[in-house]
Structure 1
Amino acid sequence: MPNPSHELLVGCAECDGILRLGFDAASGRLEQRPLQRITASKASWLVVSADGERLFALEDVQGGGRISALRRDAAGQFIVTASMPSEGVEAVHGCLGEEARHLLVAHYCTDALPGGSLAVLPVSADGLGRVTQLLAEPFERPGAQRQASSHIHCVVVAPDGLHVFACDLGADRVYEYHYQGERSDPLAPANPRHLQLPEGSGPRHLLFDAGGRHAYLTLELSNQVALLDYQDRRLRLRTLYDLDPPLQPPADRRLGALHLSVDGRFLYVSRRGAENQLVVYAVDPLDGALEERQRRDSGGVEPREFALAPDGRFLLVANQRSDNLLVMQRDPDSGLLGDTLQELHVPSPSDLKFIGRPYG
């Protein structure tokens, strides 16, 4: 593969370094040897700028989280320009604010103390500044296990760029903030303060559609996908989709990532535990409703994240606990997933990001 048409970045939750692999969009195959192994420690989540020139690696290091800012040099290699503490524990998700002025970071924090938090770091031409705002939403539920305290699992910017939403798996809430990008402390609590989800549901990842009218949310603990309406700058729960019958015997069933196809016609959801699968839904173009079309084995254990190839003809899945990365065929017309085209051994892969055409 002398001239790969795209590149893929692979974050790793339990190893040192980010893999940068070439991807051939015609054949759907990944280069076996990395184009670059980017120095980073346990970079479980990656944030890439829209132009693919900048990369932010959320690293889990001893004593707390750290964020490394990287930029492409003239040869196309990613080099570290700044490294800052994230001021929280277990940085698991992040995104760039409007006009890429700030990096927003969600801290999960398994322990009750200090609990989950949301950090804001200013982005500059030189890289990244220190945390200018750290928000926590104290919460306690005595006797609970995974929901005894706050656990912020993701942060996303609404399509209007003026609001930010953070999912708290512990409190069963999606918090809303007004975003004022010109300020050093850009996040201000909205009113009402949050969207309350059913107790024990465990909201994990939130995704808006391209039109900004609807959003989808994986409920990790209740094994459901939520359809939300976004109107008047507020999220409202419309309906819940069960992945299994409610009365099915208890088992380890946890939802993970979710992504829409580029054309918005299909939603993909990963599930882990008793079933390691990718679930395919058709999306109603009028009201955003979902209709299940397929369940496809992930080809490994714990499909934490996955990514659709830029042209939509392939889907790549990171199976974290079986240390493998799979490339699957995808039919853009039906949305269905087909055969496995390639499997690579990658230690504990946790995030996948395409970054467009390579240099050279």
Structure 2
Amino acid sequence: TNALTLINQVKTLGEEPTHSSLSADERYLFVANYGVHADPGGSLAVLPIDAEGQLQPVTQMSSHPASRVNPERQMSAHVHSVVSSPDGKFVYASDLGADKVFVYRYDPVASPEHPLVAAAPAFIELPAGSGPRHLLFSKDGKHAYLTTEMSAQVFVFDYADGQLKQRQVVDLAQGMPAQNRAAGAVHASPDGRFLYVSNRGKANEILVFAIDPGNGELTEVQRRSVEGDHPREFALSPNGKFLLIANQMSNAIVVLERDPASGKLGKAVQSLAMDAPSDVKFINRP
């Protein structure tokens, strides 16, 4: 029936939990507490998961010093997402308030209660006031793509052995006013050939990029209106034929056709009324 049944719930010990992800071995849930207020600010929380899938209380918390570049938005840490490396050996926390992506080694054997240990180097530094948001690894695991919310850019990295080396920077709002700078979600097509990025603000677009199969660099293919306001998140259908956009401030999920061959987005085929949608996930049944 695809019905969901609540197993349990626990506190994340932080404000505004905005993103979560499982460790590669599914033993822990990593939660990004964004933390709008300067006190306590944002944090990364680690929650063990038992054999029945139940979340256990937080066993590890990490916070980071803020960059304080933007007096309105960066006076404290604002952890926006937490993702694991393709091999599961590292964890990356994108902190909008610090202008850094913090890197942790994942070592549950050494300490089951504190499985994350600061790596060396301990972070990737981004331009002042850029506000890193979401990090995505490529299908082949050789590259990574990072959106910076406040500067509306995509940073392309080469990835190997836990290290991210910057290769390219793409400006989503080149020549546009500040109101067009609000980069959001980033996802790749199921075949790994195209990258999709949402830009909110006054732009309200989905940008489509072709991914170079050799070096992972991006080439713009299309800019498509989201036909709504504030595309906070979106998802591509597993068959690659549709893209579903969560337009948070216009209260609708908009479904666009997609051409898997060209990567381009076509006409809107549905608009589903939904109160402030913030994310869309497909659940794959075994």
Q: Aligned partner of 2:149: which letter?
A: E
- CA distances 1:84-138 after superposition (whole Å, capped 9, x unpaired): 1111111000100021000000011111111110001011133111001111113
Q: Counterparts of 1:170 and 1:130 in 2: how far apart (Å)?
A: 26
Q: Counterparts of 1:193 and 1:357 in 2: how far apart (Å)?
A: 37
Q: Aligned partner of 1:352: which letter?
A: V
Q: How does 1:242-261 map to 2 (within 5 A)?
A: 242-245=171-174, 248-261=176-189
Q: State the match for 1:78 in structure 2.
A: 4
Matched, 1:149 2:80: no
Q: Is the 8 A contact 1:116 1:150 kept in 2?
A: yes
Partner SS state of residue 10, structure 2: strand
Q: State the match for 1:283 in structure 2.
A: 211
Q: CA RMSD in A?
A: 1.5
Aligned match for 2:229, one of 286, 293, 301: 301
TM-score (norm 1): 0.76
- Cα distance, 1:244 vs structure 2: 2.6
Q: Counterparts of 1:143 and 1:311 in 2: how far apart (Å)?
A: 41
Q: How does 1:50-129 map to 2 (within 5 A)?
A: 76-126=2-52, 127-129=54-56
**Runs of at least 5 residues in structure 2 that lack an aligned partner in the other structure:** none
Q: State the match for 1:4 in structure 2.
A: none
Aligned match for 1:188, one of 101, 117, 120: 117
Q: Is the 8 A contact 1:115 1:138 kept in 2?
A: no
Q: State the match for 2:100 in structure 1.
A: 173
Partner SS state of residue 86, structure 2: coil
Q: Counterparts of 2:266 and 2:116 in 1: how far apart (Å)?
A: 43
Higher Cα Rg, which structure: 1
Q: State the match for 1:322 in structure 2.
A: 250
Segments of 4+ in structure 1 off by > 4 A? none
Partner SS state of residue 49, structure 2: strand
Distance 1:142 1:353, change over 3 A: closer
Q: State the match for 2:143 in structure 1.
A: 214
Q: Aligned partner of 1:141: which letter?
A: R
- Cα distance, 1:245 vs structure 2: 2.6
Q: Counterparts of 2:168 and 2:281 in 1: how far apart (Å)?
A: 30
Partner SS state of residue 352, structure 1: coil
- Cα distance, 1:142 vs structure 2: 6.8
Distance 1:249 1:311, change over 3 A: closer
Matched, 1:349 2:284: no
Identity %: 49
Partner SS state of residue 25, structure 2: helix
- Cα distance, 1:357 vs structure 2: 4.5
- CA distances 1:272-315 after superposition (whole Å, capped 9, x unpaired): 01110100000000000000000000010000010000100111
Q: State the match for 1:23 in structure 2.
A: none
Asked which structure has the greater RCO (Cα within 8 Å, sep 6+), the reply is 1
Q: Is the 8 A contact 1:98 1:181 kept in 2?
A: no
**Runs of at least 5 residues in structure 1 that lack an aligned partner in the other structure:** 1-74
Q: Aligned partner of 2:174: which letter?
A: P
Q: Is the 8 A contact 1:102 1:181 kept in 2?
A: no
Aligned match for 2:134, one of 189, 197, 205: 205
Aligned match for 1:262, one of 173, 177, 190: 190
Distance 1:76 1:302, change over 3 A: closer
Partner SS state of residue 321, structure 1: helix
Distance 1:76 1:255, change over 3 A: closer
Q: Counterparts of 1:357 and 1:149 in 2: how far apart (Å)?
A: 40
Q: How many residues align?
A: 283
